[in-house]
Amino acid sequence: MTIRGNGRRDIFGDDHDRERFLRRLAESVEAYGIRLYLFCLMTNHGHFLLETPSTNLSRFMQSLETGYTVFYNLRHGMSGHLFQGRYKAKLVEGDEYLLKLSRYVHLNPVHISRWKKEPLTQRIAYLRKYPWSSYRSYIGEEKKLAYVTYGPVLAETGVKERRQQREYRGYVEEGLATTDAEFLEVLKRSPAAIGGDEFRAWVRDTCIKMGEKAAKPEDVSFRREVLFVSKDKVLEVTCKHLGVRPRDLRERRRNSVLRPIAARMLVKYAGLTHRQVADTLGMKSGVSASLQARRAMALKEESNSAKLIAAIEVALNGQMNEMRPA
């Protein structure tokens, strides 16, 4: 998926803007249950490889772009739209295309004209130091980011886990010396899909059948069945670990961790919207529920709360695994 500045304008003025965007990205990934596999921020655009188990890409992107635009316009004394229309999203066929696309995205910083003519060693050095993508954390140059899911891409290297980071680094940086012309051609062949002929044909035919819905790649017609735990089961498991009753969650308590944790679990594991969470927990609005769910992100930085949240998620993941067909 790609986002671009309106009229090719810059969407990041400085590193403070980038840091704020990544903070908003992390919050939105957590709030909407997104699987973010990797990203790369440039000056006037950004690339993201992600999956939406809850088929909520539009809601996720609206939250991400709107929140950042408000911040950017206030900080820079601007007004109006920051991003160029609708984000550009393509469905990706797995296996080799997933790996190749990850290399294409991560090589963006050294594919600009400023670096194309530089010696290979300098380009590699710059790529490894570039702080505004997930590449450094993929190759072990920095700690893995909590909001990025690394496993599926690294697994495509085909080696044991302890060797995956080194293997991936070699695979990506090999792309600086050679051009994958075939993959670049694949990128151009369809506005809606990245993959082989059969996959692109399937996406095209599905789009035709969906009619006006064709502009929404996250539509449920494209995805495997999504499993959610029932709302009551989520509340039961959450309350058991919190040591409270479900009706206690409807009580407003200053600085309490109860509602933030419950709100997050209902969004992530029951698939509830923020409006539905508000109704369930007796809050005034979906905005209130959204703020509470975002608070759960900050709680993960606190030792006691982090352990509590981890225990609840282990239990709820177990519930989801029991629902999957054998």
CB–CB of 72/11 below 8 Å? yes
Cα dihedral: 103, 110, 64, 281 (round 10): 50
pLDDT tens figures, 242-255:
999 999 999 888 88
Is pLDDT above 90 for 52? no
Span of 3-12, 132-141, 214-223, 276-285 with lowest mean pLDDT: 214-223
pLDDT attached to residue 185:
65
Span of 25-29, 208-212, 258-262, 263-267 with lowest mean pLDDT: 208-212
CATH of the domain spanning 231-323, picked from 1.10.1750.10, 3.30.70.20, 3.20.20.80, 2.30.110.10: 1.10.1750.10
pLDDT attached to residue 97:
79
Is pLDDT above 70 for 260? yes
Mean per-residue pLDDT, 158-174: 92
- At residue 145 the predicted structure's pLDDT band, cuts being 50, 70 and 90, is very high
> Which one is predicted more confidently, 90 or 306?
306
> Which one is predicted more confidently, 189 or 233?
233
Is pLDDT above 50 for 220? no
Is pLDDT above 90 for 188? no
CATH of the domain spanning 2-174, picked from 3.40.50.1370, 3.30.70.100, 3.30.70.1290, 3.40.50.10800: 3.30.70.1290
pLDDT attached to residue 140:
95
Neighbours of 261 (CB within 10 A): 24
Structure tokens at 212: 């006006």
Would strands 45-51 and 35-41 be described as parallel, antiparallel, or unpaired?
antiparallel
- At residue 211 the predicted structure's pLDDT band, cuts being 50, 70 and 90, is low
Q: Fold match between 2-174 and 231-323? A: no
Q: Where do the structural domains in the chain lie, given as residue ranges?
A: 2-174, 231-323
Spatial CB neighbours of 269, under 8 Å, sequence gap ≥ 6: 228, 229, 234, 316, 319, 320
**What element of type H or E holds 317?**
helix 303-323
pLDDT tens figures, 300-321:
677 788 888 989 989 998 887 7
Q: Look up the pTM and report it.
A: 0.67
Distance of CA 107 to the CA centre of its chain: 19
